Homo-oligomer: A and B are copies of this chain.
Amino acid sequence: MAGSVFGNNFKVTTFGESHGKAIGCIIDGCPAGLHLSSEHIQKYLDRRKPGQSDFTTKRKESDKALILSGVFEGKTEGTPIAILIKNEDQHSKDYEELKDKFRPGHADFGYFSKYGIRDYRGGGRSSGRETAARVAAGAVAAKLLDEFGIEIHAYTKAIGPVEISDCDLSECAENPLYMPDHKAYEKASDYLEKCIKEKDSAGGVVECIASGVPAGLGDPVFDKLDARLAYGIMSIGAVKGFEVGDGCKAALSKGSENNDEFFSENGRVHKKTNHSGGILGGISDGSDIILRAYIKPTPSIARPQSTVTEAGDDTTIEIKGRHDPVIVPRAVVVVESMTALVLADALLENQYAKVDRIKL
């Protein structure tokens, strides 16, 4: 397998190179009867669209989602939903110079080692552009979850060393960095402008919260809900670390501090705290699911770097083209989408977890 299929029940396959004719996806397994329009999908795509601020690539893509199948009279049919997004503003020429050089920090060298061939135009399949197809699929998953009161919100938690200290989600839409803290946004902007001036790039952290998730989603062994989330989130290029709940810090904690005590209220089980981030032993515990993606700085920088050619000769490289100095803000909706895909998959799988759920 070339590994372009995600999910077991709500199964998504994406296709498309950065500079090919189009990208897109097929969703196989979306239940019939879900209200779905291309406008809904468009809202998600617009959030990751390039060219929206100084901090994103100047590439202009309208990123219009075209639903080719699976929807009839405004509702899903239970059959595969194919979504097409055309590529429009490719500047493949920008890449001519890089044609036979391996870009540091990029997949180029591994890609060439694996396939013996390489689509040098913008990274081919390794390009962040592929994530537009995931976002289209994620929008459908989010619509399905929404029917059941499950909502997912992601935002920028940090840009380089600048971290939010407040979290007002309504603020996210107000700034191009999707930071829920206006002051942090201003500091982060300054930091990024400095990076750009220095022909350098920045990384950051995306945090994502899923609320309304019932207890019982996920599995106790390999397909733990957090393992599936880790797989989905780490499959976003440039993510180098993943955590759920207290995450890495839990390693420093003691059992008496890290355990979330249970209590009963109105006939339902609650937790006093949420160190677990909503998942215990791989199964959702009814609290908000909280996860974080740690994203490395954009590897495409204009500074000269040492590298090697396909022929094996030492050389230097300066990457011009049109690159995001930071990909974190555009990754926000991708994190949300992957989270939605995992939860939709788990929700469907849960429909036959016990005999007394099953209906003829």
User: Is A258 an interface residue when CB atoms closer than 8 A count as contact?
Assistant: yes
| Contact A351 B352, beta carbon cutoff 8 Å | yes
Q: Which of A269-286 contact B (CB under 8 A)?
A: 269, 272, 276-277, 279-286
Knowing A125-B79, A314-B264, say if A105 contacts B144 (CB, 8 Å): no
| Contact A79 B2, beta carbon cutoff 8 Å | yes
Contact of A221 among B235, B242, B285 (CB under 8 A): B235
Knowing A124-B79, A161-B252, A204-B251, say if A11 contacts B15 (CB, 8 Å): no
**CB of A126, distance to nearest CB on chain B (Å):** 4
Contact of A79 among B17, B247, B262, B269 (CB under 8 A): B17
Stretch of A43-51, A52-60, A66-74, A169-177 lying at the B interface: A66-74
How far apart sit A284 and B242, CA to CA, in the bound complex (Å)? 19
- Please encode chain A, from 73 to 114, with 1 for each CB lying within 8 Å of some chain B CB and 0 for all others: 001111111101000000000000000001011111111011
User: Is A301 an interface residue when CB atoms closer than 8 A count as contact?
Assistant: yes
Stoichiometry, as copies per complex, reads 4
User: Is A322 an interface residue when CB atoms closer than 8 A count as contact?
Assistant: no
Q: What B residues does A296 contact at CB under 8 A?
A: 246, 250-251, 253, 258
User: Is A299 an interface residue when CB atoms closer than 8 A count as contact?
Assistant: yes
| Contact B13 A1, beta carbon cutoff 8 Å | no
Which chain B residue lies CB-closest to A338? B222
User: Is A197 an interface residue when CB atoms closer than 8 A count as contact?
Assistant: no
Which chain B residue lies CB-closest to A118? B77
**CB of A84, distance to nearest CB on chain B (Å):** 8
User: Is A37 an interface residue when CB atoms closer than 8 A count as contact?
Assistant: no
User: Is A155 an interface residue when CB atoms closer than 8 A count as contact?
Assistant: no
Interface size class of A (residues with CB under 8 A): 35 or more
Q: Which of A1-28 contact B (CB under 8 A)?
A: 1-6, 8-9, 11, 13-17, 20-24, 26, 28
**CB of A182, distance to nearest CB on chain B (Å):** 21
User: Is A340 an interface residue when CB atoms closer than 8 A count as contact?
Assistant: no
User: Is A167 an interface residue when CB atoms closer than 8 A count as contact?
Assistant: no
**CB of A334, distance to nearest CB on chain B (Å):** 12
| Contact B231 A283, beta carbon cutoff 8 Å | no
User: Is A63 an interface residue when CB atoms closer than 8 A count as contact?
Assistant: no
Contact of A147 among B269, B272, B355 (CB under 8 A): B355
Q: What B residues does A28 contact at CB under 8 A?
A: 1-5, 13, 15
Contact of A3 among B224, B248, B264, B285 (CB under 8 A): B224
Instruction: List 5 extra interface pairs beyond A1-B349, A110-B282, CB under 8 A.
Output: A3-B349, A15-B69, A24-B68, A79-B125, A249-B294
Pairs across A and B, CB under 8 Å, 26 listed: A1-B29, A1-B219, A2-B28, A2-B79, A2-B221, A3-B224, A5-B13, A16-B80, A20-B70, A24-B82, A31-B353, A33-B115, A72-B117, A77-B117, A79-B124, A102-B262, A108-B280, A110-B282, A114-B215, A117-B354, A224-B234, A234-B244, A243-B248, A254-B297, A258-B297, A259-B305
Interchain residue pairs A-B with the least CB separation, the first 7: A107-B281, A3-B223, A110-B283, A3-B219, A113-B216, A231-B231, A201-B255
